[in-house]
Amino acid sequence: MTGRGLYPVSAADRGDAAAFVARAARLDDSGVIRLKQRGDGRTGLWTRTGFDVLATRSVFGTVEPSDVVADVAAMAASLAGDDEPVALGFALPAAWRGALPAPDGYTHLDNVPARELIALARKGTRVARDESGALGPASSLLDQEVITVTSDAQPEASAGLTMRAVFALTAMGFVRDAAGHEITGDSPLDAIAAGEPVRVRTSPSWTRIDARFGSVYQRSAPLGVSVL
């Protein structure tokens, strides 16, 4: 590896990175991607969604520097071409404030059927369409806890998933049908495998929601809490 950029291991990893960046750009074409090298040979890609929820996906490969905030538009353009390495654009460290969620320290609560989350997202979209104002969906809708997930092993542990997290998960395309295709508004729910799980874990600061193609992180603690 020589020079600044993202070095995916394979064409499949490049494709995964391209899909993630394209989704992030769709949510905010002037946004940023934070890339951080992990100890398992993967690079984590992170973005802030428009729902005050973080979204992430990892690909096999390396990034130089090992922790960098990149321009989403520059990455999207580079991934659309044959650039090697993938260009990161200008470094934008000031565009990302705060630490990333810790990689461990989470308690697994339970799994939620992916079909159920897609159904909730569609219901929320209909409500948002009917009730949204000029500034988009009302905060009361986004902040509504639509599922409470508990643990049989630890009855005292629970997490409420908000509409923000559900919208972020679906907007990033992290749930797909049984054939791996994108879920659209017209996709039948039974195209998603009946046993397809979305895993919910929690820590004192974050609720982590893991789907097959990526994860979103919703804060469990007030925004003033510092996460190390």
Nearest to 121 by CA among 139, 141, 136: 141
Specify whether the CB–CB gap between 228 and 206 falls below 8 A. no
Instruction: Please provide the size of the chain in residues.
Output: 228
What local confidence, expressed as pLDDT, does residue 205 receive? Answer: 93
The residue ranges of every structural domain in the chain are 5-95, 107-219
Q: Would you give the end-to-end CA distance of the chain in angstroms?
A: 29
Rounded percentage of the chain residues whose pLDDT exceeds 90: 70
How far, in Å, CA of 113 to CA of 193, rounded?
Answer: 9
How far, in Å, CA of 114 to CA of 192, rounded?
Answer: 7
Domain 5-95, classified CATH 3.40.430.10, yes or no: no
Low-confidence ranges of the chain (pLDDT < 50): 222-228
Q: Is the peptide bond before 85 cis (omega within 30 degrees of 0)?
A: yes
Cβ-Cβ contacts under 8 Å for 187 (sequence gap 6 or more) = 177, 181
- Structure tokens, 219: 């804060």
How far, in Å, CA of 46 to CA of 83, rounded?
Answer: 21
What local confidence, expressed as pLDDT, does residue 222 receive? Answer: 46
- Global pTM? 0.89
Note the pLDDT tens digit of each residue in 165-191. 999 999 999 999 999 888 888 889 999
- Structure tokens, 18: 């391209």
Nearest to 131 by CA among 145, 123, 67: 123
φ and ψ at residue 27, rounded to 5 degrees = -75, -35
Note the pLDDT tens digit of each residue in 21-55. 999 999 988 899 999 999 999 999 999 998 889 99
